[in-house]
Amino acid sequence: MEIAGSREELEARLGVEIPYFAYPYGKEDPAVRDLVVAAGYRAACSTRCGFNRAGCDPYLLRRIDVFGTDRLWQFRQKVTWGINEASRLYPLKYVRGRIAARLGGG
């Protein structure tokens, strides 16, 4: 079993517990998630963007991509809106979508 085996190998080589898993290239589905749980990991990161809230599945944690090349406004937008692709138009698109949803068009 590659998931459990790689954990055991890393722990043996490094001499520390490896409690967390990251799905390679975001390749996760319910069967893989179950293997991660069975391997004894406490949580796992997906490649889904967004925020994690109380009660979320600890084996499908979302994350936000932040790069050293991000400008301050991009960083601020990413951590405010929980998105990976910052755009100066995003707040306008968000508000437009919310209005459309309230009017029954979205």
Same domain (yes/no): 58, 95: no
Mean pLDDT confidence for 67-83: 94
Mean pLDDT confidence for 65-73: 95
Cα 44 to chain centroid distance, Å, stands at 9
What average pLDDT is seen over the chain?
A: 92
Same domain (yes/no): 20, 57: yes
Same domain (yes/no): 9, 36: yes
- Structural domain including 88 reads 72-102
Task: Please tell me the pTM assigned to this model.
Answer: 0.76
The per-residue pLDDT for 51 is 95
Location of structure tokens 């319910």: 30
